[in-house]
Structure 1
Amino acid sequence: MKYALDATTSWGEGTIIKVNILASGSAGNCIALTTGEKTILIDAGVAKTKIEKRLLEVGIRSDEVAAIFITHAHCDHTKGLPLANKYRIPVYATHGEWKGISGVDEELQHVVETRWSKYETVEIGDLHICPFKVHHDAIEPVGYAIEDDHGNRCCVVFDTGHIDSDMLEMMEGNIYIIEANHDPAMVEAGDYPDSVKARILSDNGHLSNEQTAEALQRLISGRGERIYLTHLSSKNNMPTLAEMTVKHALRKTGYIAGKHYTLEVLA
């Protein structure tokens, strides 16, 4: 698995949001985002010791993590949450997803609140974390849009069966960390039980390469955006297939990888 990429994107002069993909895929997901002196994690889906090791490999101490934000309570997004207790890190999740999360000390538990049916922004230093609804077979899953004070905006969308107009509005930015989970033909031809195939392909399952490509066609405007394709299925996808599907779709809109945007595939 490819991990711990030291990748940066800058829109504001002299400012960056640093992205390190610590884990990606069906075995676990964890992303570190850093701006200024603040680092947050989006999900903690591999063992605590692996997160500690991979943070150190990219120059971040675990006790420097300011907060952990959970997309949903499935194990491949929460397995490493004992990290929070060890280093006294606040953990944020929706009310529904807290029902499926255990083992986090009560004083570290923070609920992502809603007002007028929309999630409230969480402020962590100069980071503004904006949760938004996604579509997955969990109780109350979310994605996150993370802004800094310099105009940078990073969007994280892991497990979702489709992308609607409200999501697209929240996803606008200059860094995209998004799942490209499967190729539908590979799912259909695979050896999973029919019930599992139906779950993956449903509107509350996972994004196919084509769905991800279609969303990026509507989001990318050729201003040097950075795209990370994540959460690829080891059985139902191939990195080259995911990469080529997205590049082909964006070429149709006039954008060329390396010229108008950059693309990394994490598998």
Structure 2
Amino acid sequence: MKVNILASGSNGNCIALTSGESTILIDAGIAKTKIEKKLLEVGITPNKIEAMFITHAHKDHTKGLPLANKYKIPVFAGEDEWKSITGVDEELQNKAPAVFNNGMEYTWEVKAFKTHHDAYDPRGYVVYDLQEVIRCSICLDTGKVEQDMIEAMKDSDIYIIESNHEPRMVEASNYPISVKTRVLSHVGHLSNQQTAAALAELIQGKGEQIYLTHLSSSNNMAMLAQMTTEKALMAKGFIKDKHYRLEVV
């Protein structure tokens, strides 16, 4: 499975997963033309996209959804999340499935799990590459990670998870109190510490690939996010580049 994180952060999120000649997108949070350009830059033609899976309806995850209409790509999201998703032709709208795999045309099996964000029906996804037998978990905007989410994601080979902020930086920021409260709430975003704690439960030291994503540009630093996760995994006896690989996006 090839992972291309085309965009990450509050300005937009879009992840391409490719196996063979088949690609699926997780989120489409940048303009349609930018998605097309970034796909071509990594050697993917947009007409090879089999499906799009949306975590939730916020614009930094849905801005580029007109891409689906142009290429007639089916779009999946939580059933209630369609209340606030616009711009997708009705015949392309689908509920986020427990399983997505027709056995012939698609390489993928995709399962959805509930996350905790200020949206109607936010989801994370576990993607199985049936050709290469690789499992990838994607957990973006969520204010907390509960045990059912850990159970859904465990035994993955790849983890793409947000490590959004350092709480002390949020508290010291010039954000309005309402924004600070939202970010730090159970329906906000994961702190570096929350992400590290979740990964400490998930990583088994079998060479897993971790991508830390959706970092706040004003309330986090890449090195801080990385060090927080490395410290938590070291406490479990796991060393970066020996037991797992890690990239901050």
Q: For this structure pair, what is the TM-score category when the shorter chain's length is used for normalisation? A: over 0.9
1:37-116 matches, cutoff 5 A: 37-113=21-97
SS state at 2:238 partner: coil
Aligned residues: percent identity? 62
List per-residue Cα deviations over 1:88-119 (Å, max 9, x = no partner).
11111112111111111111111225xxxxxx
Match of 2:109 among 128, 142, 159: 128
Give the total of aligned pairs: 244
1:152-191 matches, cutoff 5 A: 152-172=134-154, 173-191=156-174
Q: TM-score, normalised by structure 2?
A: 0.96
Rounded to whole Å, the distance in 2 between the matches of 1:70 and 1:187 is 27
SS state at 2:73 partner: coil
Rounded to whole Å, the distance in 2 between the matches of 1:103 and 1:207 is 29
Rounded to whole Å, the distance in 1 between the matches of 2:87 and 2:191 is 33
Which residue matches 1:146?
Answer: 127
Q: TM-score, normalised by structure 1?
A: 0.90
Which residue matches 1:6?
Answer: none
Which amino acid in the other structure matches residue 114 of structure 2? K
Q: Which runs of 5+ in 2 are unaligned?
A: none
Match of 2:231 among 248, 252, 257: 248
Moved over 3 A (4+): none
SS state at 2:61 partner: helix
List per-residue Cα deviations over 1:32-75 (Å, max 9, x = no partner).
00113210000000011110011001100011111100000000
Rounded to whole Å, the distance in 1 between the matches of 2:43 and 2:173 is 40
* RMSD of aligned Cα (Å): 0.9
List per-residue Cα deviations over 1:137-177 (Å, max 9, x = no partner).
10000000001224311000000000000000011111000
Rounded to whole Å, the distance in 2 between the matches of 1:232 and 1:138 is 19
